[in-house]
Amino acid sequence: MRNENDKLMNRKDQKDKRNALRRKATPAEKELWKLLRGLREEGIVFHRQHGIGQYIVDFYCPGIRLAIELDGYVHIGNEEYY
């Protein structure tokens, strides 16, 4: 059974954009991803380039509902994000 978050999280119309963002990760995103992946052993799971509504955040942990946007400065001046 689907819940309300299914309409909000990782919309299908964003899939290509999320994949492209994963392929074009910044050096800072790559380094943080290495650290966050290591937390899986502790039971803390993060996802990269996770869609939340109309936005795509760099990292998201559903277990604690934590979203991380690491490189927000790359969005400055890009009207797509306003």
In the chain, where are the structural domains located? 4-81
pTM assigned to the model: 0.79
Q: Which residue has the higher pLDDT, 26 or 80?
A: 26
> CA 66, CA 82: separation in Å to the nearest integer?
21
How many residues does the structure list for the chain? 82
pLDDT level of residue 4 (50, 70, 90 thresholds): low
- pLDDT tens for each residue of 40-60: 999 999 999 999 999 999 999
What's the Cα-to-Cα distance from 41 to each of 10, 45, 65, 80, rounded to whole Å? 24, 9, 18, 36
Q: Say how far apart CA 54 and CA 6 lie, in whole Å.
A: 13
